[in-house]
Structure 1
Amino acid sequence: MADHSKEVMEVVPESKQVNEDDMKDKLQEKMMKRHEQRLAKMEKRRTEREQASSKDESIVIFTSNFNSEKKRIQTMIDNSNDIPTENLNSHFDSMTTDIHRFQKYVTDSIIFLPSYDQKHAQDTVNQLNSACYDKRKELKPKKKFTFSKSKKKESKSEDDIDKPPNKMENEKLVQLVEQKKEDSLGFRDCSSQDLEMLSDKINTNDIGLSELVDCKVVLKGSPSAVHIDKLTRCKVFCGPVSGSIFIADCTDCTFIMSCQQLRVHTTTSCSFYLHVTSRAIIEDSTKVVFAPYDWTYDEIEKDFALSGLDRSKNSWDDVDDFNWLASDKHSPNWSILPEESRIKY
């Protein structure tokens, strides 16, 4: 009896020891998990603090750079009145490029900017754009944008030369007519006409098109710049432009053009067949579509050589919408024209 009790006493402690060891293991595992969770939380808080600090630092750097660039561009605009007339084109082209880079900097910084700062930054860029646009219109000599309404009216003016009663007045009128011809680089206030200008008048000059309705315009040559405004249901063909093309207030038009820079303002429902060596810019514009430039004519290669444009570089589908802030979503204001909808020219 005594021996049997001893046997039982020896078995029970062994089973109990196994249970205790198992409980210890589970407890240690639980404590280890808690410790890992605490470490994970601590690491998360540390990362958040670093990110917050980095974000604050990025905002400080952005604000400093933003204010500096804003001041620099505003100074350029303010100093435009002191620029010689012959240098105005390059001055404004350079300023437009700087504003474009400024816009890209703002767009790239949206990821860490608070919504209020985003709006303030974009409003500032828009204001600089408008100020640059207005200053260009103010300072560009009007004589460069004196348009001829039609060849018929020009010939009528020449006929009128014979009317003055004396030779001196006649010579003065002839000079005025010839000066008018030299200054009449473009077309204005025409309706339902086919208008054409060739390289002998176009090359290295500024061209203007304004207030045209239902017209077809063909510009064969290499202008230094083209300014277009208030066109309705028109089709414009333009050879390579060494500088910029500025378009404003146009509706239901088709533009076939090649240039160093394209700027489109307050325009709607227009198609662009484009060769451009930098990002095209649209602002306050809707329902505009883009396709690659495919127009050709005799001596176009010569005109490209004169313009200095790189034929191998075409950013026709790289468009920057100054009114669209979201960098992760495509602007609804412009699109690529589907291939099946493109017209061959």
Structure 2
Amino acid sequence: MENEEARSTSISSQALGSTLHKKHLSMLERLSNREQIRLDNSLARRSDSDSHSNLPSSSTAFLSRFSDSKRSIESRIAQSRLDHPTDPSQVRSLLDNISASISDLEKLVAESSYFLPSYEVRSSLKTISDLKQALETLNSELIPRKKFTFKNKSAKKDPTAEPNETTPENPESVSTKHVNLSFPVRDSPGFRNKKGEILVMNFKGSDIGEFTVSDLDSCEVRLTGSVRALFIHRLSNCRVYVGPVTGSILIDEADGCVFVMASHQIRIHNAKGCDFYLRVRSRPIIEDTSGVRFAPYCLNYEGVEEDLRGASLDEETGNWANVDDFRWLRAVQSPNWSVLPENERYEVVNISTLGGGTDGN
């Protein structure tokens, strides 16, 4: 009897030991799994931190370069006030060099906008705007307007007009009230003062770096090949078709026009009622502009794909719809621009099949 009780007790002890062992193993497994999860989460957080660590370094490099350039430009402007040359041609060269440096700084912002936070882009653009204003002031100080007053004995002087007013007879006079320093003062080739014409220019094989299109009314402009910079000024009811621009396109005063263009940077000032079909590496910028609409680039001509690849503009970035209104600082959508409805867009504009045209020089 005692042997049976002892045997029963031994069996019960073994069963209990087996149960406790299983519970112990289960507990160890849970602890192991929990530790593995903790390690995985820790590695994930570290990986995420490492992946974002490149952004501050890129931003830091940009800010360092931007600050150095800004200080250099400010120093040159300040120094120019102290010991500027007296020769007008040297003064103009000095101002042009500073203006070119500001344009280079603007291009740096455009090229860096991929990784910069939006507030950094806005802050940088505000700094560039301040530098342009400072250069504009320097321009008026170093080149007094009275030096450019055009005296024509046969012309009747308007007693109500300011002596420094810009007039068609005096294209060299400067009005600091209306100067837009996005347009460097250069005698670049271009189309000027035309009405109702088809104007054609092919940049392939040419050494033209900059091109100007200004004072056109009801014209059609076709620019093929690649150019470094394009300046567009005072256009009304025009259609402008442009191949790749490797630098910047600067537009000032456009009314009722259609633009189809590709560029690394596009800045639009004082435009009204225009449609823009763009391919652009950075966010397009508008200022003092209203009633403009945007759509993707749709230009076609023989060799356009090769030209776009050569200018690193062969890929669609979608930035045509990411417009920055420099005068609209609220968080809500700017009322000054909109996306062009698909049913109102051009599908493809093939300028190779269009006839007519006057060649540029």
Same fold (TM over 0.5): yes
Query: Does structure 1 conserve the Cα–Cα contact (< 8 Å) formed by 2:226 and 2:243?
Result: yes
Specify whether residues 108 and 198 from structure 1 end up closer, same or farther in structure 2 by C-alpha distance, changes over 3 A only. Answer: closer
Structure 1 residues 92-101 or 292-301, which shifts more?
92-101
Q: Deviations over 1:249-303 (max 9, x none)?
A: 1100000000000000111111000000100000011111000001111011221
Contact 2:197–2:218 (8 Å) recurs in 1: yes
The residue identity in structure 2 corresponding to 1:105 is: Y
- Please list every run of 5 or more consecutive structure 2 residues that lacks an aligned counterpart in the other structure: 1-62, 78-92, 136-178, 350-361
SS of the equivalent of 2:193 reads strand
Deviation per CA, 1:233-257: give whole Å up to 9, x if none. 0000000110110000110000000
2:186 matches 1:141: yes
**Structure of larger gyration radius:** 1
Is the CA contact 1:204–1:222 (under 8 Å) kept in the aligned structure 2?
Answer: no
**Separation (CA, whole Å) in 2 of partners of 1:72 and 1:192:** 43
Query: Is the counterpart of residue 337 in structure 1 residue 351 in structure 2?
Result: no
Residue 284 of structure 1: aligned partner: 288
Q: How far, CA to CA, are the matches of 2:236 and 2:117 in structure 1?
A: 29
State whether structure 2 residue 257 is matched by structure 1 residue 253: yes
The aligned counterpart of 2:230 is 226
Distance 1:74 1:266 in 2: 29
**Offset from partner CA, 1:100-127 (integer Å, 9 cap, x none):** 9799427889xxxxxxxxxxx9987754
Q: Runs of 5+ in structure 1 lacking a partner?
A: 1-65, 110-120, 145-184
Matches within 5 A, 1:225-244: 225-244=229-248
Answering whether residue 280 of structure 2 is matched by residue 266 of structure 1, we say no
Preserved CA contact (<8 Å) 1:213 1:233: yes
Partner of 2:256: helix, strand, or coil? coil
SS at match of 1:200: coil
- Residue 105 of structure 1 corresponds to 119
Displacement of 1:304 after TM fit? 1.3
196-205 or 220-229, which deviates more = 196-205
Q: Tell me the distance in 2 between the aligned counterparts of 1:223 and 1:286.
A: 28
Give the distance between the partners of 2:208 and 2:230, measured in 1 at CA.
11
Matched ranges for 1:123-162 at <5 A:
126-128=129-131, 130=133, 134-138=180-184, 140-142=185-187, 144=188
Structure 1 counterpart of 2:4:
none
2:99 & 2:311 partners in 1: Cα distance?
18
Q: Is residue 265–residue 282 contact of structure 1 (8 Å, CA) maintained in 2?
A: yes
CA distance in 1, matches of 2:220, 2:301: 16
The alpha carbon displacement at 1:224 in A equals 0.4
1:207 aligns to 2:208 (yes or no): no
Task: Give the match's secondary structure for 1:308.
Answer: coil
Query: For the structure 1 residues 129 and 341, does the alpha-carbon distance in structure 2 shift closer, same or farther, using more than 3 Å as the test?
Result: farther
Q: Distance in 1 between matches of 2:311 and 2:127?
A: 33
- SS at the partner of 2:225? coil
Aligned pair partner of 2:313 in 290, 309, 313:
309
Instruction: Report the CA distance shift for 1:206/1:78 in structure 2 as closer, same or farther (over 3 A).
Output: farther
Identity %: 33
Q: Residues 96, 300 of structure 1: CA spacing in aligned structure 2 closer, same or farther, 3 A cutoff?
A: closer
The Cα of 1:129 is off from its aligned counterpart by 5.4
Give the direction of change, closer, same or farther, for the CA distance of 1:84–1:247 in structure 2 (3 Å limit). Answer: closer
Q: Using the TM superposition, give the Cα deviation of residue 191 of structure 1 relative to its aligned residue in structure 2, in angstroms.
A: 0.1
Cα distance, 1:90–1:339 mapped onto 2, change above 3 Å: farther
- Equivalent residue number for residue 148 of structure 1: none
What is the alpha-carbon distance in structure 1 between the residues aligned to residue 329 and residue 121 of structure 2?
A: 6
Q: Which residue of structure 1 aligns with residue 327 of structure 2?
A: 323
- Equivalent in the alignment of 1:61: none
Aligned Cα root-mean-square deviation (Å): 3.6
1:78 to 1:191, Cα distance in 2 relative to 1, 3 A: farther
SS at match of 2:222: strand
TM-score for the superposition, normalised by structure 2:
0.53
CA contact (8 A) 1:280 1:316 kept: yes
Task: Show the counterpart of 2:54.
Answer: none
Q: CA deviation at 1:73?
A: 3.3
Say which structure is richer in helix. Answer: 1
| Alpha-carbon distance in structure 2 between the residues aligned to 1:203 and 1:307 | 16
